[in-house]
Chains A and B, each alone.
Chain A
Amino acid sequence: MSKLKVAVFKFSSCDGCQLQFLNLEEELLQLTEVVDFALFYEARSSVEPGPYDISFVEGSISTPHEVELINNVRRESKIVVAIGACATSGGIQALRNWANLDEFKSYVYPRPEWIEVLKNAEPPSKFIKVDYEIRGCPVSKEQLLSFILQYMRGKIPTLPVSPLCIECKVAGNVCVLVVSGTPCLGPITMGGCGAICPSYGRGCYGCYGPAVDPQAPAMNRLFKELDLKPKDIQLLFKQFVNWAKGFKEVVEEYE
C-alpha cells in the first residue's frame, strides 16, 4: 500500500493545533510508516510538491497573502481538512471583526500603515471548499489520529457530534451550572474534549464551538435569569469561537 501523502499548513494561529501532530509522540513514529508528511514546515526542512491526499489547515485567513495561499492549498489537495477553532470559525483573532480595524492597528503598531490585513479574520471555508472540520482550541490529537486512520481504511471519517453535556454525564461530573450556578456553555457546545473544564471545576468556555442545533438563545435567557451582567454574557459567547454561526447571534444582540 502506498503511503498517504499529507500536508500540514499554517495560517493565522498559535501553532497549537499542528503541534498536536507532534504531540502524538511515539504514535507519530508508527504513523509515519503509513503516512508521508510531505509538507510540514514545523517538523521538517524538505518539502515534497503536491498534489496531496489530505491537507490539514490550521489557522484563519486574515491577510491578502493568505487568501492566495489557501486557494493554492485547495488546488493541490484531494481533500482539505480544517483543524481547530481558528480554521473552523476564525478563532480568537476574529475578535477584531467586531472592532474598528484601524484603531486596533494603531494600538499595537507604531506604523499601522505597514500592516496589511483583511478587515475580518475568517475560516478557510469562506474562501474555498473545505471537506471536513475538526473542532477545538486546540484540536484533540486523538481526533486527528482517528480521522487519518478512518480515512485510510476508506471510511467516511466521523467525529463526535453530541453536545459537551453528554460527555460530562459520562465523566460522572456534578453539573457546575445546576449545582453551583457557574456559567457553562456545555449544553450548546460540541463535545469532543471529554468535558475537561467541568472536570476541573469550571464552566465550559465553548472552545469546540456550537453544537448541532445549539439553541443559543435559550442559553442566553438562562444566563439572564442567573443575573449575569449583559456585558459578561456577551463575553461568554465572544471568546475563541465568537465568529461562528450559533454563538455570533448572541454576541450581536449585545453589541
Chain B
Amino acid sequence: MSKIIRVDYLSRVEGEGNLYLEIENDRLTRVEVGIFEAPRFFESFLRNRKYSEVPDITARICGICPIAYIMSSSRAIEKVLDIEVDEHISKLRRIIYLGEWIESHLLHMLMLHAPDFLNYESVLEIAKVNPEIVKRGLRLKSWGNEVMKVIGGRSVHPVSCRVGGFYRVIRKDELNHLIKHVDEMKEHAKQILEWVLNLPIPDFKSDFEYVSLRGDKEYPILYGKVVSNKGLCISEDEFEENIVSEQVKYSTTLRYRMRGRGYYLVGPLARYNNNYDLLKPEVRDVVEAHGHSSTLHNSFQSIIARAAETYHAVLELEELLKNYGEPLKPYVEGVVKGGVGSAITEAPRGILYHRYELNEKGYVVNANIIPPTAQNLAHIEYDLLLLGDELVRRDVKDAQHLAELTIRNYDPCISCSTHFIKIKYVRK
C-alpha cells in the first residue's frame, strides 16, 4: 500500500514549515520537513554595522527569544573588545534570560505542545476542561514576560541590554513588584510540572547524542563547556570547527552533524540530561516522585524537561531577585579594536552560536549565526523515520497528528532557523 501524508502548513510552531511523508509498500520511504519561510539575509546586512548595533539587530531574528540573540551576540563581541562583565551584570543578564525561558517555555508547553497530547486543537479547548491549569500557566507566562519588561523595558525586543551590560542601572526597588508574586509563581510552576508529568506521553526510546552547555556550578544559560552525553567536551571557540554542514538529496535544508559523531540534538532535553545534578532539589523531587530519572531518552518527554526548567527558573529567580545588588556602573566599556569572537548561550530551544569578525573601527566584517532549530532539523526527520512503522499503521489523519506532535517536540522556531537555511520553494 502506498500513501502520502502531507501537512501543508504546520501550525503551532513559530514560523512557516510543511511536512511531506511518503509511504511505499508499507514502509516509510521519504521524510521531508520543508521550510517555506522567506529568507531575510541577516548575516549579509550585519556586515558594515557598528558592533554596538548587533544585539538589537539580531534580536529581530526571533520575537520569541530575542534575549538569546542579544546575549550570544553581546558575549561574542565582548570577547573581541576584551570586555569582562562583573558579577552584578552577569546576574542581571541571568535574570532577564530566565524570564525569557519562562515566557518561551510556557508558550510552547501550554499553547503549542500540550494540546497535542490531549487531542485538542488549541489551548482554548484545554481552558474549557481545565481552566485552572491554563490560568496558572498564563499567570506564570505573564510573570516571565514581566521579568523581561522590568529589566528590559519590554518583553519582545527588550531595549536595555547592550554590549558590556545594560544602558542604565536597574534599581533594586524596581524588582519589588516581581518579588511580590514569587511565592505564587513557585506554586504555579510546581503545579504545571505535576500536570505535565501526568500527560499521556507516547512511549518512544532512542539513542541520541544530546549536546548542550554544561554549567560549572549552576544550570547553564550564559556560559559553559559544550558537552554531550557521549563524551563531547569542547569550548565554544572550538564549536564551529567541530560541526559539519551538509546537504542531502531529498531535502533542500542545510543540516548539521558533529564531526566524526553524527547528528545531534539540542534544547531542553539535552540541557536536562547533561545538567540534571544542577537542577534545584525541589525540581528533582517532583520529577523523581513520578518515577523519572536523571535521563530522559524520549523526545516526547521534552515537555517534561521544559516544565522542570521552568520550575527551576522560578526558584532561581527568587534567589537572584531577592539578593540582587546594584552594579556601580551599568556596563563595562571596552577598547574598540578588530578581531574575531564567538559565543554560545542556551536559548530556550538550545545552543545558539554567534561569531563576529570586527575591523579595527568596530564595524562587522563577517558574521555567522547557528540557531538551535537548524541544528535539530535533521533530528526531527530522523525521529519521524524511527516512527515509521507507527506512522504506516495509522490512518492518514492519525499519522498526521503523530507526525506533527513529533515535530513540535523540538519546539521548532522556523523564523530563527530560516535566515540561513537553504530554501527551495517548489510551486505545486
Which chain A residues have a beta carbon within 8 Å of chain B's beta carbons? 10-17, 19-20, 22-23, 25-26, 28-29, 32, 41-47, 62-63, 65-66, 91-93, 95-96, 99, 103-105, 107-111, 114-117, 121, 137-138, 193, 196-197, 199-202, 205, 207, 232, 235, 239-240
Within 8 A of A (CB), among B28-64: 36-45, 47, 49-50, 53, 56-57, 60-64
Among A11, A32, A107, A202, point to the contact of B44 (Cβ < 8 A): A107
Establish whether residues B422 and A11, one from each chain, have CB atoms under 8 Å apart when the complex forms: no
Establish whether residues A22 and B11, one from each chain, have CB atoms under 8 Å apart when the complex forms: no
Among A19, A28, A137, point to the contact of B60 (Cβ < 8 A): A137
16 interchain pairs, CB-CB under 8 A: A20-B156, A25-B141, A32-B124, A41-B16, A42-B13, A43-B123, A47-B11, A65-B425, A92-B57, A103-B44, A104-B44, A105-B41, A105-B44, A200-B152, A202-B159, A235-B53
**Closest Cβ neighbor of B245 among chain A residues:** A110
Given contacts A20-B156, A114-B424, A200-B168, contact A65 B36 (CB under 8 A): yes
Task: Select the stretch in B132-140, B232-240, B297-305, B386-394 that faces chain A.
Answer: B132-140
Which chain B residues have a beta carbon within 8 Å of chain A's beta carbons? 9-16, 36-45, 47, 49-50, 53, 56-57, 60-64, 66, 107, 111-112, 115, 121-124, 127, 134-135, 138-139, 141-142, 145, 152-157, 159-160, 162, 166-168, 247, 252, 254, 330, 404, 413, 415, 419-420, 422-425, 427
Given contacts A41-B9, A114-B423, contact A16 B127 (CB under 8 A): no
Complex interface: chain B residues within 8 A of A114 (CB) = 252, 422-424
Complex CA distance for A235 and B364, rounded to whole angstroms: 13
Among A23, A105, A200, point to the contact of B153 (Cβ < 8 A): A200
Complex CA distance for A25 and B145, rounded to whole angstroms: 10
Complex CA distance for A92 and B43, rounded to whole angstroms: 12
**Closest Cβ neighbor of B427 among chain A residues:** A65
Given contacts A19-B63, A45-B11, A200-B167, contact A110 B156 (CB under 8 A): no
**Closest Cβ neighbor of B69 among chain A residues:** A14
Establish whether residues B62 and A108, one from each chain, have CB atoms under 8 Å apart when the complex forms: no
Establish whether residues B423 and A22, one from each chain, have CB atoms under 8 Å apart when the complex forms: no
Establish whether residues B138 and A41, one from each chain, have CB atoms under 8 Å apart when the complex forms: no
Complex interface: chain A residues within 8 A of B56 (CB) = 205, 239
Establish whether residues A44 and B11, one from each chain, have CB atoms under 8 Å apart when the complex forms: yes
Complex interface: chain B residues within 8 A of A15 (CB) = 14-15, 62-64, 413, 415
**Closest Cβ neighbor of A107 among chain B residues:** B44
Establish whether residues B43 and A107, one from each chain, have CB atoms under 8 Å apart when the complex forms: yes
Complex CA distance for A117 and B167, rounded to whole angstroms: 37
Complex interface: chain A residues within 8 A of B41 (CB) = 93, 95-96, 104-105, 107-108
Establish whether residues B142 and A117, one from each chain, have CB atoms under 8 Å apart when the complex forms: no
B148 to chain A, nearest CB (A): 10
Establish whether residues B44 and A93, one from each chain, have CB atoms under 8 Å apart when the complex forms: no
Complex interface: chain B residues within 8 A of A202 (CB) = 159-160, 162, 167-168
B178 to chain A, nearest CB (A): 16
Complex interface: chain A residues within 8 A of B415 (CB) = 13-15
| 3 nearest A-B residue pairs (beta carbon) | A16-B63, A201-B168, A44-B122
Complex CA distance for A43 and B11, rounded to whole angstroms: 7
Complex CA distance for A25 and B66, rounded to whole angstroms: 19
Complex CA distance for A205 and B44, rounded to whole angstroms: 21
B396 to chain A, nearest CB (A): 15
Establish whether residues A26 and B156, one from each chain, have CB atoms under 8 Å apart when the complex forms: no
Establish whether residues B60 and A115, one from each chain, have CB atoms under 8 Å apart when the complex forms: no
Establish whether residues A16 and B64, one from each chain, have CB atoms under 8 Å apart when the complex forms: yes
**Closest Cβ neighbor of A199 among chain B residues:** B153
**Closest Cβ neighbor of A202 among chain B residues:** B167
20 A-B pairs besides A16-B157, A62-B38, A138-B156 with CB distance below 8 A are A12-B38, A14-B415, A16-B63, A19-B63, A25-B145, A42-B112, A44-B12, A96-B41, A104-B41, A115-B422, A116-B423, A137-B157, A197-B159, A200-B153, A201-B160, A201-B167, A201-B168, A207-B157, A232-B50, A239-B57
Question: Of A15, A110, A232, which is in contact with the most chain B CB atoms at under 10 Å from its CB?
Answer: A15
Given contacts A95-B45, A104-B45, contact A63 B15 (CB under 8 A): no
Establish whether residues B138 and A92, one from each chain, have CB atoms under 8 Å apart when the complex forms: no
Complex interface: chain B residues within 8 A of A12 (CB) = 37-38, 40
**Closest Cβ neighbor of A95 among chain B residues:** B45
Establish whether residues A92 and B40, one from each chain, have CB atoms under 8 Å apart when the complex forms: yes
Among A26, A41, A115, point to the contact of B39 (Cβ < 8 A): A115
Complex interface: chain B residues within 8 A of A92 (CB) = 40, 45, 57, 60
**Closest Cβ neighbor of A137 among chain B residues:** B157
Establish whether residues B145 and A23, one from each chain, have CB atoms under 8 Å apart when the complex forms: yes
B388 to chain A, nearest CB (A): 23
**Closest Cβ neighbor of B161 among chain A residues:** A200
Complex interface: chain B residues within 8 A of A115 (CB) = 39, 422-423
Complex CA distance for A235 and B15, rounded to whole angstroms: 28
B162 to chain A, nearest CB (A): 8
Question: Of B49, B50, B122, B166, which is in contact with the most chain A CB atoms at under 10 Å from its CB?
Answer: B122
Complex CA distance for A114 and B251, rounded to whole angstroms: 12
**Closest Cβ neighbor of B61 among chain A residues:** A14
Complex CA distance for A22 and B107, rounded to whole angstroms: 8
Among A25, A26, A46, A200, point to the contact of B160 (Cβ < 8 A): A200
**Closest Cβ neighbor of A44 among chain B residues:** B122
Complex CA distance for A19 and B115, rounded to whole angstroms: 18
Complex interface: chain A residues within 8 A of B11 (CB) = 41-45, 47
Establish whether residues B38 and A235, one from each chain, have CB atoms under 8 Å apart when the complex forms: no
B52 to chain A, nearest CB (A): 10
**Closest Cβ neighbor of A104 among chain B residues:** B44
Complex interface: chain A residues within 8 A of B419 (CB) = 108
Establish whether residues B44 and A99, one from each chain, have CB atoms under 8 Å apart when the complex forms: yes
Among A29, A110, A235, A240, point to the contact of B138 (Cβ < 8 A): A29
**Closest Cβ neighbor of B106 among chain A residues:** A25
Complex CA distance for A111 and B40, rounded to whole angstroms: 15
A68 to chain B, nearest CB (A): 10
